[in-house]
């Protein structure tokens, strides 16, 4: 019992301790790392990634995987910019209508993603990967390879206007993080995610409609991907077919490093938050101290291996030779 408690304690607290250790390490090497301006940079890069990580957390909690985020973000970002311009080009003139429209579109894409996975019985990684390709292809088709810009200063205020040193987009991300936490811990749907991830057969035997839960999970993830797309447009001021590039690696790495078990039923949105901060702290810290990109990738890879080792019961694991 003591060993089990110790293992669970390590899994629970290790990501946070790693984050603290990284901050101390980078600060010791370069004191400029520990500054409000630098922390603001970290949170700006973390905000869209956090939304994606929260969305994919719901999927992983069910024991599934979603690889569609890059295509979904690219498509919803492009359509958001087009709708924003079509509705007047600024928030006051009606551009705000693009926001609920894109959130609904994200939900619709997620719903289709889950429906294909569940109804056609295609593994989630394959169904979602295909949907990601469809999203990227649709973004290329809509833009013709060009860039769609948003020039509204009020909307760009999500990045440029700061409160207590942090831009508004960080606070928007915090609000949606709180929403994700509420859905995870205070709703029947959130509890059902854990039930499905803890054992699909048992959940089905208890009367739970597992298919409906899975579709709802993918739909919810699509909403958070759309939020990430809007924040990414606010940060860049534009969208194109590659706006969602690299979000797959960042989000899944963050979730795993943060302590969400790939096997389902363990972790939550707070783990996703810590994981995103770890990944972006490493990326930022490496730049601050002047190390090359490949060192960043190597360190992240090492952290992923350690996280998976800690979260896996290797006595019960089956290795295929």
Q: Where are the domains positioned within the chain? A: 2-311
pLDDT in 10s for each residue of the chain, 321 residues: 444 545 566 667 788 888 898 899 899 988 888 999 999 999 999 999 999 999 999 999 999 999 999 999 999 999 999 999 999 888 888 889 999 999 999 999 999 999 999 999 999 989 999 999 999 999 999 998 899 999 888 999 999 999 998 999 999 999 999 999 999 999 999 999 999 988 888 887 788 899 999 999 999 999 999 999 999 999 999 999 999 998 998 899 889 888 888 888 888 999 999 999 999 998 888 888 877 777 777 777 777 777 666 655 444 444 333
For 32-74, give the DSSP string. GGSSHHHHHHHHHHHHHHHHHHHHHHHHHHTT-----HHHHHH
Which residues, including other chains, have CB under 8 Å from residue 256's CB and lie 6 or more apart? 262, 275, 304, 307, 308, 311
Q: Are 76 and 137 in contact (CB under 8 A)?
A: no
CA angle 15, 125, 195 (to 5 degrees): 60
- Which region, left, alpha or beta, applies to residue 161 given φ > 0 means left and ψ of -120 to 50 means alpha? beta
| CA atoms of 42 and 270, how far apart (whole Å) | 17
Task: Return the structure tokens found at 246.
Answer: 């690299």
Q: What was the pLDDT predicted at 6?
A: 54
How big, in percent rounded to 5, are the helix, strand and coil portions of the chain?
A: 75, 0, 20
What letter would DSSP give residue 96?
G
Task: Return the structure tokens found at 145.
Answer: 């390879």
Q: What was the pLDDT predicted at 276?
A: 94
CATH number of 2-311: 1.10.3470
Which residues, including other chains, have CB under 8 Å from residue 58's CB and lie 6 or more apart? 180, 183, 184, 193, 217, 220, 221
| CA atoms of 40 and 36, how far apart (whole Å) | 6
Q: Which of 222, 229, 224 is nearest to 83 (CA)?
A: 229
pTM higher than the cut 0.75:
yes
| CA atoms of 212 and 218, how far apart (whole Å) | 10
């Amino acid at each position: 019992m003591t060993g089990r408690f110790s293992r669970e304690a390590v899994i629970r607290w290790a990501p946070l301790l790693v984050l603290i250790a990284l901050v101390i390490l980078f600060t010791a090497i370069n004191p400029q790392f520990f500054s409000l301006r630098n922390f603001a940079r970290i949170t700006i890069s973390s905000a869209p990634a956090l939304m994606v990580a929260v969305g994919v957390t719901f999927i992983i909690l069910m024991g599934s995987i979603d690889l569609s985020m890059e295509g979904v973000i690219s498509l919803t970002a492009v359509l958001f910019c087009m709708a924003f311009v079509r509705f007047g080009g600024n928030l006051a003139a009606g551009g705000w209508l693009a926001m609920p429209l894109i959130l609904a579109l994200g939900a619709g894409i997620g719903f289709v993603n889950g429906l294909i996975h569940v109804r056609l019985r295609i593994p989630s990684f394959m169904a979602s990967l295909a949907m990601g390709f469809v999203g990227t292809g649709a973004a290329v088709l809509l833009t013709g390879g060009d860039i769609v810009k948003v020039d509204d200063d009020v909307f760009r205020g999500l990045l440029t206007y700061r409160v207590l040193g942090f831009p508004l987009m960080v606070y928007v991300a915090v609000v949606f993080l709180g929403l994700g936490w509420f859905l995870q811990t205070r709703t029947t749907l959130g509890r059902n995610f854990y039930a499905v991830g803890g054992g699909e057969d048992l959940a089905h035997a208890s009367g739970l409609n597992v298919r409906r839960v899975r579709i709802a999970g993918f739909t919810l993830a699509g909403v958070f991907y759309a939020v990430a797309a809007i924040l990414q447009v606010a940060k860049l001021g534009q969208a194109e077919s590659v706006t969602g590039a690299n979000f797959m690696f960042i989000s899944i790495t963050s979730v795993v490093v943060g302590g969400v078990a790939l096997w389902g039923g363990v972790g939550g949105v707070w783990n996703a938050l810590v994981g995103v901060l770890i990944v972006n702290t490493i990326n930022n810290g490496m730049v601050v101290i002047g190390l090359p990109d490949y060192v960043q990738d190597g360190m992240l890879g090492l952290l992923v291996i350690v996280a998976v080792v800690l979260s896996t019961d290797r006595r019960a694991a089956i290795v295929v030779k």
